[in-house]
Amino acid sequence: MKPQLSPDLRPLRYCPRCGQRVAQRAETCFLCGAALETRRPRRLALPVADLLLLAVVLSVAFLWWTRAPQDPDVIAAAGPTPTATATPSPSPTATPAPPTPTPTATPTVTPTPTPIVHTVVRGETVESIAKAYGVSVQDLMAANGLTRDLIRVDQKLIIPAGPIPRGPDGKPLPTNTPTPESAVYKVEVRPGDTLEGLAKKYKTTVDAIVAATDWLTSTDTILIPGDLVIVPVGEAALAVLASPTPAPTATPVPTPTPTPGPRWPAPQPLSPVHETDLGRGPAVLQWLSVGVLAPDEVYVVRVAPVGRLRDELIDVTTATSYRVPTEWLERYAGSGASFLWQVQVARNVRAVAGQVSGLRPVSASSPVRVFRWGATAAPTASPSR
């Protein structure tokens, strides 16, 4: 549709937002307030006279520069051009080139392949691990000395780099004993872990773990789930144990005295009586007080399902009784289960992120007691007359 022309032959203006007709010089719409005038980029005004003058000056300078050397009067006034006298140059003396060194053959060192160690996670099987690394099940079992295809979580398996050589009887040929690994692990303590168990698991010693972990003060320190311990293995463990210790200063030898025992005696359990069936009632553990505890001393209570010591409950209290959480008992009780419990005095308690760590025993553990919980209590028979 062609635009309509106003009486002065100029196109009519309309608001782009609401469509209202507006004046030719209006900057905003009086109806909706929309801006009508768009700012146009400012053009650079070129000074024509200055440009012409500059062109003339450049032209004169160019003609003077190119024609001045060709003027015969200028050349005559300059005089004859002196002729350069050839100066004999001495003959170059041949310098003997240095002898080219003969390259020596560098022996090629074949790097020893590093074995791949796989840590088993939940849900994996020998077949799935062998398939993931492209090796056969037989070679994987032979490399790790497995006689059955049973593996456990966190078990470390060596992945063979290729087929394992076998003898005529089909059994793997004996290989050289590999060099023990040298590494340092940072291990988070799990329920049921002990220093002896960690040392056996990582094939190291308890003394090496204690020497590498700064907060461990002795080999009988109680480990709490969530603690972080440093476990050196192989040569790293030997380096930790061989680290120099400050030489003792010369002091007079004192008269030998008997070595003192623990600060406190072992707490004596009171209730529940050994092998008591609590039904589904409250499980309140009580014991005799050993004395007035220091501000940094507490009772450490351990409760664990029989046969499942890794799932033990560890807690601390300053009282002489402890109520086992019902929700924790229901997790393991089912239709009835037996639980072990004991108590011990410890000190040097440090709270880290809401967890207790750094406990050092100052008494022996109490005797272990057993109670049953979770079974429905049988109706009590009324006494006969």
pLDDT score at 134: 86
The domain locations on the chain are: 10-36, 120-159, 187-241, 269-373
Tokens of 125: 């099987």
CATH class of 187-241: alpha beta
pLDDT of residue 113: 55
Best CATH choice for the domain 120-159 from the list 3.50.30.50, 3.40.50.970, 1.20.120.1200, 3.10.350.10: 3.10.350.10
From residue 90, alpha-carbon distances to 83, 85, 333 in Å are 22, 16, 111
The pLDDT, as a whole number, for residue 20 is 83
Residue in the block written with tokens 């057993």: 370
Task: Tell me the torsion sign for CA atoms 146, 148, 149, 150.
Answer: negative
> Looking at residue 290, what DSSP letter applies?
-
Amino acid 128: pLDDT: 92
Taking the C-alpha atoms of residue 358 and residue 349, their distance in angstroms, rounded to an integer, is 6
For the question of whether the overall pTM of this predicted structure is more than 0.75, the answer is no
Output the six-digit token pair for 89. Answer: 């140059």
CATH 2.60.40.10 fits 269-373, yes or no: yes
Structural contact between residues 345 and 300, judged by C-beta atoms closer than 8 angstroms? yes
109 to 1, 89, 122: CA distances (angstroms):
86, 57, 40
Looking at residue 354, its pLDDT comes to: 42
Q: Which tokens in the block code for residue 304?
A: 């664990």
- How confident is the model at residue 117, as a pLDDT? 84
Q: Is 2 within 8 Å of 12 (Cβ atoms)? A: no
- Could you read off the pLDDT tens digit of each residue along the chain, which spans 385 residues? 555 555 555 677 888 888 888 887 788 887 888 887 655 555 555 578 888 888 989 988 888 888 755 544 444 444 444 444 444 555 555 555 555 555 544 444 444 455 688 888 888 998 999 898 888 888 888 888 888 888 888 888 888 876 766 666 666 665 554 445 677 888 888 888 888 888 898 889 988 898 888 778 777 777 888 888 898 888 777 777 776 554 444 445 555 555 566 788 889 898 888 888 888 888 899 998 888 888 888 999 989 888 777 788 888 898 999 999 988 888 887 767 888 899 989 886 554 334 455 678 888 888 989 998 887 654 444 444 3
Same fold: 120-159 with 187-241: yes
